[in-house]
Structure 1
Amino acid sequence: MITTLEHVSVLEETDGLIGMLKHSDVFEHYRNMRDKLAKDQEAQSLIRDFVKVREKYDEVQRFGKYHPDYKQVIQNMMDIKRDVDLNDTIASYKKAEEQMEHLLNEISLEIARAVSDSIKVPTGNPFFDRGCGGGCGTGGKCGCH
């Protein structure tokens, strides 16, 4: 019975954490940028064009430079990627998404460390993360304990 009560308590705390996240400034900004992106016809058109070019790009990648359309598809991919990256609405959405991801990563680390310092928490690119949470398999070269 104690285990069941502990599980209920954890679930209640989780619901509270979710509620705080939903009312945070970071989440509100993310939601606003997502809605703005959904309504921006130019951005949506760029995204659709990117998906089409990406499908051709994936096909070309199977054959590499031996594909007859290799150079053209690679150039198209670079052009559409630049257009997508330079679109203000898409760039704002990506930045809001990264801020939300950063917040979730921080929460995950705090929860893991509250349980044990040796719990591994994936927080993105392992080459740029300073602390891995311990036990990373590098023999301590990364500075973890």
Structure 2
Amino acid sequence: MLATIERVLILDKAEEISNMILQSEIAEKYFRCIYKIKTNRETQDKIRNFVKVKEQYEDVQRFGKYHPDYSAIMKKVRDIKREMDLDENIAQFRRIETEIQSLLDEISVIVGHSVSQQIKVPTGNPFFESTSCGGGCGSGGGCGCSA
């Protein structure tokens, strides 16, 4: 691959954008949330419990409703997941994760459309559906886009 001035400039801009994202307030919040999750003993216990029960759930899924512990494991998985989801650190992390994903989607749309308005940017966010395909291009045209 030949390195042209244009490619070097594009790579420099991409690195500049990534550094701006990493130094943004939302990225800072994201990394703080990860730190809280990793250092909070209660949160870690909930995550460990969920992982343990999830392994049982996967074992039950091989046999489906015919597994002798199907009902008990399914109820246990729902209860433990609800407990984990209600943990303040995890709930906060999920909110921030959604915010940072929206930021990345917005940047993707801006970059894609700066190249060409015809570029379909799979964001998966209904907000961007008017400016992109909304993430359905992998469905063989099922999203209605003209890709």
- TM bin (shorter chain): 0.7 to 0.9
SS of aligned partner of 1:34: helix
CA RMSD of aligned residues (A): 2.6
- How many residues are matched? 142
Matched residue, 1:111: 111
Q: Deviations over 1:51-107 (max 9, x none)?
A: 111111111112110011100110110110110111111101111111111111110
Paired with 1:106 and 1:38, the residues of 2 have a C-alpha distance of 29
TM-score in terms of structure 2 length: 0.85
Paired with 1:28 and 1:34, the residues of 2 have a C-alpha distance of 10
Which 4+ runs in 1 deviate beyond 6 A? none
Matched residue, 1:27: 27
Greater relative contact order: 1 or 2 (C-alpha under 8 angstroms, separation 6 or more)? 1
Unaligned runs of 5+ in 1: none
Matched residue, 2:9: 9
Matched residue, 1:62: 62
TM-score in terms of structure 1 length: 0.86
Matched residue, 2:130: 131
Unaligned runs of 5+ in 2: none
Deviation at 1:117, TM superposition (A): 1.9
Tell me the percent identity.
43
